[in-house]
Structure formats: C-alpha cells, structure tokens
Amino acid sequence: MTDAGPPWTGTDEKATLLGFLNYLRSSVAGKAADVPEPQVRTGGVPSGTNLLGLIKHLTRVEQFYFLGEPINSMRRTMQPTREETVDGLLADYRRTIEQANEVVETWADLTLDAPRPPGRNLPPTRRWVLVHMIEETARHAGHADILREQIDGSTGR
C-alpha cells in the first residue's frame, strides 16, 4: 500500500492541523497493531521504550491536553502493566482520539485557552495544543518506526 501522506484538502487552519495529527495518530497505531507479545512491550533501546508504552503515553498526553485529565507521573505513562494488552491500549487510544476530535470540532477560535486540569499553570492556546500534539505524536511515530523495524523489519508508515 502506498502512503499518500497527510490530507491535502484542509479547508482552514484547524482542518489542516487536525489532518496532520490524525495522519500521525494512525501511523503510530499501525506500528503497534499486530505485533505479538512480548515484542510489543519489549524495550528496543536502553531506555526501555517500547511500542505498547508509546501507545499508552500518547493516550495519556491526548487526555491531558484535549480532555483536561491530570497526569500523576509522565514517566509511568510509558510503562504498560502486565494486564494491559495491545488490543486494550489501542482501543483506549482510538477512543481518546475520538473524544479529542469531538473537543477540537467545537473550537471555533484557536487563540482561546485549551482545557487544562486544575492546579496547572496558565493554559496554552488551542493552536499551541494542536501544534504540540503534532510534534509529540510525530516524535513518537519516529520511535515507533525504529522499534517496529527492530522487531520484524517493517519499514515505512
């Protein structure tokens, strides 16, 4: 299958940003799908970064920035428990993406404040959140590319 890349049809700034983010989200989820245990949770680099941990982390970051849910420990978001499965964490990621996209669809003005959990510093703008999540997801998509290639030689999107 040829990778067509992110959509070229963004009708406005929000649609363009969300199109890039959705493309990257799909790329990351695709890298973890169909990877067997224990490879999906085995660290491929000295830090222990693994595909399942990347999915769990991105889910929590999406929940934090788009849904205003607190994160107690960013470090623990990268560590799947024994009970957490590929199917379960991918389902959580996809459900969170749906919820986040529903929130973003209500954003008519990207200069306004984004949701923020209580007790945090001043909230960033909605535009900043979208751009940051593109950056965050793209960085981890690169990690996922490398990890997946180490597991079974798969390359590309």
Nearest to 93 by CA among 50, 51, 48, 62: 62
Each residue's pLDDT tens digit, 10-57: 689 999 999 999 999 999 999 999 999 999 999 999 999 999 999 999
Q: Please state, as a whole number, how many other Cβ atoms lie within 10 Å of the Cβ of residue 73.
A: 9
Domains of the chain (ranges plus CATH)? 32-152 (1.20.120.450)
Confidence at residue 119, expressed as pLDDT on a 0 to 100 scale? 65
Per the rule left: phi > 0, alpha: psi between -120 and 50, beta: everything else, 91 is alpha
pTM of this structure: 0.91
